[in-house]
Amino acid sequence: MNLYLNQIAAIVWKDFVTELKTRELLSAMFIFALLVILIFIFSINLSIVKASEVGPGILWVAFLFAGTIGLNRSFMLEKENGCLMGLMLVPADRTAIYFGKLISNLIFLSIMELFILPLFMIFFNIDLLSHLGPLLVVVFLGTLGFCALGTLLSSLSSNLKTREIMLPILLYPLLIPIIIGAVRMTGQILDGTELFDMMKWIGLTASFDIIYIGVSIMTIDHILEE
Amino acid sequence: MESLENAIEVRHLRKAFGTLKAVDGIDFELKQGEFLTVFGPNGAGKTTLIKILSGLTQPSSGTAKVAGFDVAEGHPEMRKEIGVISHSTALYADLTPLENLMFFARMHGLEQPEDKALKVIGEVGLSPRRNDRVRTFSRGMLQRLSIARAILHDPAILFLDEPFTGLDLHAANVLKEHLQRLHDSSRTILMTTHDISCGLEMCDKVALQVQGKFAFLENISDVDKDRFESMYFDAVRDNQFAMGISL
């Protein structure tokens, strides 16, 4: 168990050191998410539409699109110079590789989201600070599901020539339950609803998070095999 | 590794991709400390053979035992006993040699990963460049670092897939010396190569793989090197004709 956790930690450490040196992933995700929000802010007349009604959808579109860039890059890093083959040759359970990449992706996406949320608050003139706790719970649940499935599918699509196209085509339809749950909960939180009043949505999103992680554990062995 | 009579034991091994038979009924065994060089034209299935033996791909039929483990079972313990050097370096370009090897040492569960990494970096003569990004390395340096990655966990068996590809004469000689040292330390080595002189010089056994089969397998002491060389060139020429490539 100790070795298993050490292997997961080693993968996360390696991804962090790489990102600290290249600064490719976080900057690309942040700029992309910011651009999505800017495009929407200029195309929506907020004097007609209520910001708390359109804001959640726009926020999650920004997170998803930017996150997809991150996921694509994540396994590309492993494909360069045959590094994935190197990982396959170490005496590690394949799920340790999956969890290492999942945690890296989750942390990188969460950092990007923490930078985007204040900008979203400023552009849409929405007070997020008074709902910060529940909002962070919802963002975490949505991001976890996105990363759980996204990490699995990016490992699958990394073997394809058309990986940049295939990842969103495979990922987005399967993410629908999580996206619906995350957008609905974000909207309700901005309207002042308490977290325990939306346990159905929390249950739905958390259930899909668990399902996606479970499916990944069961299939990652076959997906990583050539 | 436990003392086994055969470090590698391959029986009726086959691997097909659709109708293409990449490995077609290969049988051989290697005792602990033996060095087998496999020659063969492009597309003969040499890389596929190494991939099967290192557990990276499953055979279609037949059995292969490496360090006593059936490769089809994908046992993690088997991966402790093998080191692989392939066409690709399996090194992270934006990390330094020290960071790369520390990472792989941690993945192997080695104690004191930094000390281990520094030791093997020294062994392959890259200590002065240990803190430079791998991206800035020449092909020869990458290959030496690749060897360091492969021997980091002190494996008993090494698989080398065309390790001399892209190396200049000096780098090839340095690599040859490293391989000779590894062989002298009684590691079992299976190497594929197109370099006749290097391949024949270092090995105990030599094989010629053509269209997925071992067309020739002998102890090096029983081999007439000139005759083997001409047989190898014939196999390459015939293979090119078969593939429709004009010489």
Task: Render pLDDT for B144-178 as a digit per residue (tens, 0 to 9).
Answer: 899 899 999 989 999 999 988 877 777 788 788 88
- For residue B247, the distance in angstroms to the closest alpha carbon of chain A comes to 31
- Which run of H or E residues covers position A17? helix A2-22
Q: Which of B107, B112, B149, B161 should one mutate to test binding to chain A, selecting the residue with the greatest count of A CBs within 10 A?
A: B107
Under 8 Å between Cβ of A34 and A69: no
Minimum-distance CB partner of A17 among B57, B88, B95 = B95
| Number of domains into which chain A is organized | 1
Residue B130 corresponds to which tokens in the numbers above? 């240990």
Measure the CA–CA gap between B127 and B121, rounded to whole angstroms: 6
Residue A159 corresponds to which tokens in the numbers above? 């073997």
Measure the CA–CA gap between A141 and B178, rounded to whole angstroms: 51
Does the CA dihedral A181-A182-A183-A187 come out positive or negative?
A: positive
Give the three-class secondary structure for A77: helix
- Mean pLDDT value of segment A57-73: 93
Q: Do B56 and A85 touch (CB under 8 A)?
A: yes
- List strands edge to edge, sheet with B157-161: B82-85, B157-161, B188-192, B35-39, B205-210, B213-219
Contacts of B136 in chain A (CB under 8 A): none
Residue B172 backbone dihedrals phi, psi, to 5 degrees: -65, -40
Over the stretch B60-81, which tens digit does the pLDDT of each residue have?
999 999 999 999 888 888 999 9
Average pLDDT score, chain B: 88
B189 touches chain A (CB under 8 A): no
Domain range for A53: 2-225
Contacts of A14 in chain B (CB under 8 A): 92, 95, 99, 103
- For residue A7, the distance in angstroms to the closest alpha carbon of chain B comes to 5
Q: Do A81 and B91 touch (CB under 8 A)?
A: yes
**How many H-runs (helices) and E-runs (strands) does chain B carry?**
8, 10
Residue B98 backbone dihedrals phi, psi, to 5 degrees: -65, -45
Q: For residue B87, what pLDDT is reported?
A: 84
Q: What is the pTM of this model?
A: 0.89
Q: Do A82 and B88 touch (CB under 8 A)?
A: yes
Q: For residue B241, what pLDDT is reported?
A: 61
Over the stretch A4-25, which tens digit does the pLDDT of each residue have?
999 999 999 999 999 999 988 9
Measure the CA–CA gap between B140 and B158, rounded to whole angstroms: 19
For chains A and B, CB pairs below 8 A equal: 80
Minimum-distance CB partner of B56 among A14, A88, A92 = A88
- Residues present in chain A in total: 226
Measure the CA–CA gap between B189 and A30, rounded to whole angstroms: 48
Q: Which of A142-156, B14-28, B194-208, B233-247 has the lowest mean pLDDT?
A: B233-247
ipTM comes to 0.89
Say which DSSP state B77 is in: H
Closest-approach residue (CA) in chain A for B89:
A81
Residue B211: other Cβ atoms inside 10 A: 19
Bridge partners for A121 per DSSP: none
